[in-house]
Each structure stands twice: as C-alpha cells, then as structure tokens.
A and B are shown apart, each in its own frame.
Chain A
C-alpha cells in the first residue's frame, strides 16, 4: 500500500498533492491518502473523490501551523501505524524541510525530486535529475520498507489522478502530537516582492532573443506571456543590451530552468543558451531561420516572422 501525504495550508490543498496521488496510482497497488493539520475536514472531503482505499486525517492543534518537528512526529507515528510499502509526497518547499528528517528518524531511504517511476523486476526504479537537470539518474531505494519518495512538481499530471467509483472513507487517525517537543516557533507567512526573479520556479516561460530587434517590441512579448500565464526571460544579448534585467537571463551565464513550457522567440539556440533550458518539458521555438539550432531541441517549431506569428498566437489564445 502506498501512503500519499497531501499538503494543505489553511485548509487549502496544494495542487501538487494530486500529482503525488497520480504518481502513487501509476506505481500500482492500493493507495491511501493522508492529510495533516488542524481542521482539515474540508480538505479530506476533497481528497475523498480520489480512487483510494481511504483518507486518513491526522489532526492536532500542534499541527495547525506547519513545523518540521510537528510533522516528523506525526508522520512517524502514522507510518508506524499504517505500515505502507512506500510513502509519496509532492516535492514542495515544505516537504523538503521535513522529509529528510522523517527519513532519518525512521531510518528509511528517501529519494527526492522524482520525475518518473519505472518498474524493474520486483521493485521500482526512480528517475530524477542530477547536475541541475543536465543529466538524469536512475535510482533505487535500498533497505526495508517503507521507501519515501518525493515527486517533482509538474512531473506527474494532477488531472491523471483517477477518481474513485464512490467517495473514499475518511478516518481520523488516533495520533497525538506533543506540542512541547516542537522546537520551531513559526510566525505568519508573508508575501514580499522578491528582489531577484527566480525563474527556476516558473511553470511557463516566454524567452526572447535577438530576433526581437528592439526594446520597443518587448510589449508584444509581454502580451504573449500574459496570455499564457508565463514569466518573461531572455537570452544573453537582450540582457547585455539592457533591454531586460540580468536576472531574466537564461543560459550558462544566467539561470538554468526546466519549466513545463518554454517558448523561445527569435532565439537562435547558441549552446550557451541551450544549456540553461534544455531540460524544459515542452519547448516551442519561433524563428525566421529554419537552420537555427534551437529547432534541434524544440518539440514544436514555427519557421516564420515572430512579428506575425506572435500576434496570431495572442489572438488564438484569447478565443
């Protein structure tokens, strides 16, 4: 049985939880889903539509605010009670904070940031990126069950999570959390305009290169980015000319990204740029030059004048 740990904050489920559920279902066998917190009934009901053996809630006042100590305590007890073969998590910032401690507490293997799962013999082999996504590694978990697995955000499709024929049963686990053993005292999270853009967190990126010809044409790119819900990025020459700030640069002297969608406008595909975005899930290239190297790594390519193609795209997207 695979136990999936869903993530919620203030009662709202993190969408990535569905991705972990999908991954667990694909790996095969019965699936149980757990959610931790205080007052998670609504989240549990939402989870109950999934094709799962049951939904287990772990509720305690000490779990209202996330703390690493609280979650490790609760999950150690839960894993002990449920004896799963595997525990799946979405690879969120929060998971990264507690999962290794849980693994150490339980003395069980933890494989993080998994993008695919392969069956090999009796067991599973996990694919994950190494060297900042330049290479993939096939990794096996060693030692006794359960093995802990965190799934890379966006690697598994949330909408692939199968729904059950009927709502799964929801059960509250008989687990207490000792608040006095929690050493972290968190304050309320807050939002801040970040000084530097962290493009590595963007799900969609529209990047622009020399083909844009002038700073005044960036408006067109911005419109497209908005229509897709993407962040704007650029190849080096654009940043060197000062048309976009340096923190928007993708490539060997800028950031390395691997978003779900990367649209390269007027970018020729010099290797210095490619090494920064080759790992993107879907790459679209629009360039006047059919020989441009970018087409070698693109999934979809349009040979054409971006000043004609991009407005057409914007029009099409608004339909």
Chain B
C-alpha cells in the first residue's frame, strides 16, 4: 500500500506520462489476511501521509501505560523499568487489518487499480529478468480437472514488480531461490505469533495499556513472549510469539498460548470476556543479516517478505512502510529513466543502507540469534547491544529454525512420549482457552472446497514412517489451525490428512517442517481468513 501511495505521490509531483500501477491482493478484500499485535511506530506514516489524522487513520489508542513482566507459573515480576526497545511512548495500538483497509481506501482514491481476490502464483521471467507475475488459475476441482467455470491465470506484465508477499512469501521464496539472493546471508529465522481479539467488561483495563511478558510458559531454551494491548470499548488484543527454532519436537505453540492465557495476570483480564477473533502468522525474526539481496532485474522486495522487522522492538509495520516507499522511489526513477535493470534497482538497497532502516536494524542484528544461548545470556546480550549500539559484536552464527528441532530420541531419550497426545496439555474450557478447531472457526477462514489443496506436501510417505518415528509428526502441533491430521488408513497404519480449508495462511508449516517438503501456495482467489479488527 505504501509503495502504491508513494508512487502516486511521486507521479503527482513529477507530472509526466502517467504510470500504470496495479496492486494485487490475494484476499477477498484488502486487509482480510493481515494481522499483527499491533503497535505502530508512526514515523513512516507521518512521512507518507502527513495529514493522517485528518484522513481518519484508524489509530485505536495511544500508548499510555506500559508494563513488562517476567512470568513464573503463578506470579509476575515486573521489570523495574521498561527496557528501552519495548518503550512505546508516542506509538499507537492499532488493528493492522483496519489500518490496511484504510490505506487501501487511500490507494483507490488515487485511482490506482487494486485487484482483490487475485493471488499471484508465480513470477514471470524473460530469461533472467523479471517481467511480471502470473495470477492463479481459477476453477480447478480438487482432483486437478478443469471445471466448467475454469478461468486461466492472467499474465500481468510490468516494468518493475515490487514483491510484498509477506513473511515466507511464496513469490519471494521462489525468486530468492532462483537468483540465489541469499548467498552470503544468514538463513531467515522465524517466529509464530498467535493472537486473539477479545471483548472484556468495560473498565476492566484502561485503554492504551501495553503489556509484554517473558518467561513462563516458555522455558529458557525457547524464544518468545506474550503481549496484551488494550483498546477503547473493552477491546483487547492478546497473543503469544514463539520462535520457530525450538528444540522440543513435541512443542505446541497453540498450547503454550493457552497456558499463557491461564496465567493469573492475564486470566484476570480476560475472564468473563468474549473471544471475538483468532488468527496466527509467522514473523521474520532473523534481523539484518538474514535480509537477502532485495533487488534483481525488474524486481524489488519490500516489507516482511524481505525480513524487515525489528525483533527487539517487535515492530515491522513502519519498516514495511519505509521499504515500500523506498521501493516506490527507486522504481519510479528507474521507469522514468527507462532502465529497470538490477544495476539501476540497486539504488533501493543503497537507500535502505543509508536510512533509518539500517540504523534501526543493524544494532539489533543478533538478538534472535543470541537466544540460542538461552534466555539469560540473550537478555544480557540484548541489553548490552542496546547500550553500545552493537557495533563491536561479531555477527553470531545462525541456523535455520527447522534444523534446530531435535529428534524424539535425542530430546526424550528413553522416555518417548505418545506422539498423538499433547505433552503439556492446557485445560480447554472453551471460555478462556480453546481447542484449535474452535479457534479456527473464529478466524473466519473459508476456502471453496472444490479445489486442489494449496498445501503441497511433496512426499507424504515420509509422514507415517520416517517423520512419525523421528519427530512424531510435529506438523500436528505447530500448525495453529488443525490443518494436518494423522488419521487411520486402515490396517493399523496412519496417513496424513490435509484439511486445507482450515488454513489461516500463517506459513508455519512451510517454515518449520523438518524435511522441508511442504510448499504453501496461494489457494483460489479470495480464500483465507477474515481478520476483521485484527
């Protein structure tokens, strides 16, 4: 949205031949598939839309009260001062879904074509040059045959394509692979964020309250923490983030979130309230060194797709906006100069290097990586890097998260658990805590049934045999939407069943599968969650 808006602005300022700009959105309407905590650092917004307040930007609440706690099972230990990166004074609590909807309104008001419900399934190349994208075929039945309503995908050609397909974006993933854009960079690290929107009795908590937590229910070996943000009218956003590089193959992020809600500090806020919406998404946590080369002939990568997130401040929206704006500026110049080659588009990377984006991301480049040494060392390291600006630290090594997950034998030794049962189950009461299937209902996710599964598991034989033996089918646990199930295949064996229509498009399976045989591709246009207010 930022890129599109910025392009419109540049066009207006510059005059000249009007550019044709199109935005492709895979959801039925802009914002439907997007969610975040969310805390917005308004610096980029102020620059892009200086009169954002007049234009009715939906900023739910300014931050008034902040708390950071270290949790143990039954108590909370407040941090004496809010650590600077978690200080949110001057920031806003927002619903990212509403924010994007609002931006979409601005984009359309500029006369830019926005096509919602049209996912791009692949990047188009002319030899080694990106020349556009192809949208997904529509009207294929679940066996792969064309239905009477079949519509082939459309090739959309463009001089510059800006990929903003989000964390683990399928287009970016393929592009990076093809051009080895990640050569010399660290592999991306991810986390999964699971979030619920609640309505609690008015007066229970002051609007504008921001709470972050560390510790319970995570153990020292796991990265992550919880959050709770309160907005006006009793609306509360509560969630939990877990690094997707945990060691325990029986770990279940959804169960962890239920445990978190049961902690007295949070149960006391939510009790008696009503769950309104549920959602989940991965976050790119790797930081500066995991960002690939973000340009090639005819293409730029912006936002989460490039990994532009500050994992210490837990903020990425402003970085997505900034990189979107830089991409727009670079693209604009390139198109005007009739040169959209990589050499020209390289200016995008240069802009980022010279900007507050790098100034912000570079000092915290090892935050997530430091957690592989355990919570306490990580906190110390993070504290130090804050104070020193991190310049004197050598870059820490990093491994892709799915490589860190240990095999059952290694982790549990002789005490192999029953892989079909949760290891640390939380009590599900369907008032405060929920099972995954009930939660999925509250994500509003819907896909037309008669289409091929958009979760492509390249080798399903491995599921009932090797994976079950080595890892105990972790997909059953790391998917927050009950997409994967091991069902009886008859004759005593199990087989993988994929409930694709439950998918909330979080990308965790694509990221975390230990054998890396799962490819998430966009489903038929418009299908997916409906994250109103998230």
Contact = CB atoms under 8 A, between A and B. Distances in A.
Q: Answer whether A and B touch in the complex at a CB cut-off of 8 Å.
A: yes
Contacts of A252: 441
B499 A270 contact: no
A293 B430 contact: yes
Interface string A262-303: 000000001110010000000000000000010000000000
Interface residues of A, number: 10
Contact of A253 (B430, B497, B501): B501
B437 interface: yes
Contacts of A31: none
Contacts of B487: 241
A271 B441 contact: yes
A20 interface: no
Contacts of B440: 272
Contact of B437 (A240, A253, A271, A275): A271
A273 to B, nearest CB: 10
B501 A270 contact: no
B286 to A, nearest CB: 36
B449 interface: yes
B441 A272 contact: yes
A272 B437 contact: yes
B461 interface: no
A58 interface: no
A253 B438 contact: no
A43 interface: no
B37 to A, nearest CB: 25
Interface residues of B, number: 11
A246 B441 contact: no
Contacts of A271: 437-438, 441
Contacts of A241: 487
Interface string A212-246: 00000000000000000000000000001100001
Nearest to B482: A270
A246 B449 contact: yes
Nearest to B502: A272
A75 B441 CA distance: 47
A253 B449 contact: yes
Interface string B221-251: 0000000000000000000000000000000
A38 to B, nearest CB: 44
Contacts of B449: 246, 253
Contacts of A253: 446, 449, 501
B142 to A, nearest CB: 10
B493 to A, nearest CB: 15
Interface string B437-458: 1101100001001000000000
B497 A240 contact: yes
A303 B449 CA distance: 33
Nearest to B448: A253
B495 to A, nearest CB: 11
A270 B497 contact: no
B84 to A, nearest CB: 43
Given A252-B441, A272-B440, 10 more contacts: A240-B497, A246-B449, A253-B501, A270-B437, A270-B438, A270-B441, A271-B437, A272-B441, A275-B441, A293-B430
15 contacts: A240-B499, A241-B487, A246-B449, A253-B446, A253-B449, A253-B501, A270-B437, A270-B438, A270-B441, A271-B437, A271-B438, A271-B441, A272-B440, A272-B441, A275-B441
Interface of A: 240-241, 246, 252-253, 270-272, 275, 293
